[in-house]
Structure 1
């Protein structure tokens, strides 16, 4: 490759060789697996199951306050409890009118996303 460079007003012609980088060689390609068998070990879920009537945690955190009691009549939008995650508080509200049949957590309980918090009938 020929380049023209000007230094202090004086033009110079320079020949430059450019080497193409070599592509890294690929290792052996195995189609259909490595030939070894692996044993699948069953796992257990870390989140307890929730009934169809349960209001579930939208995020992981800890229960800061429980604001309802079992047997209490509630309307849609009633704040049931408050979750705290990373110094932020999130109000968990009732999705519909009903009655609190069971409270599944208490203040200080650590919960995962999807875990049942309160059952509403």
Structure 2
């Protein structure tokens, strides 16, 4: 089980994530909705600590703005990009503190739900 502190719209949440047969579930004392973890787009199913944490698109949309650069240091909860979906801007935040290893998208790019956006190596 991995524990994260995630800030969404200025509110901090303590989230525990555990892998169950290749899928992730979440437990939290502060969250009521079971799908809120998807709003940050964290996906670690195919990564190891050396490879980093893959941030995946939580929904289909268009990248409005990538807010970080490769090799940049980020803090957990920091906005790393903006995703437009259904005419709404969605902040995608770093699920962990670390260094941005690879950015896999660019501004104005269309993405599918689950598509990798970037990889962060935890520090």
TM-score in terms of structure 1 length: 0.57
Q: Larger strand proportion, structure 1 or 2?
A: 2
Normalized per residue, the structure richer in helix is 2
Contact 1:100/1:119 (<8 A) preserved: yes
Report how many aligned residue pairs link the two structures: 72
Q: Match for residue 98 of structure 1?
A: 98
Alignment of 1:36-115 (within 5 A): 51-52=46-47, 53-115=53-115
Determine the C-alpha separation between the residues in 2 that align with 1:75 and 1:51. Answer: 22
Shift of 1:85: 1.1
Q: CA deviation at 1:76?
A: 0.2
Task: For structure 1, list consecutive stretches of 5 or more residues without a partner in the other structure.
Answer: 1-49
TM-score after normalising by structure 2? 0.56
Where structure 2 has 5 or more consecutive residues not aligned to the other structure, the ranges are 1-44, 48-52
RMSD of equivalent CA atoms: 1.2
Residues 51-60 or 81-90, more deviating? 51-60
Cα deviation 1:26-73 (Å, max 9, x = unaligned): xxxxxxxxxxxxxxxxxxxxxxxx852210000000000000000000
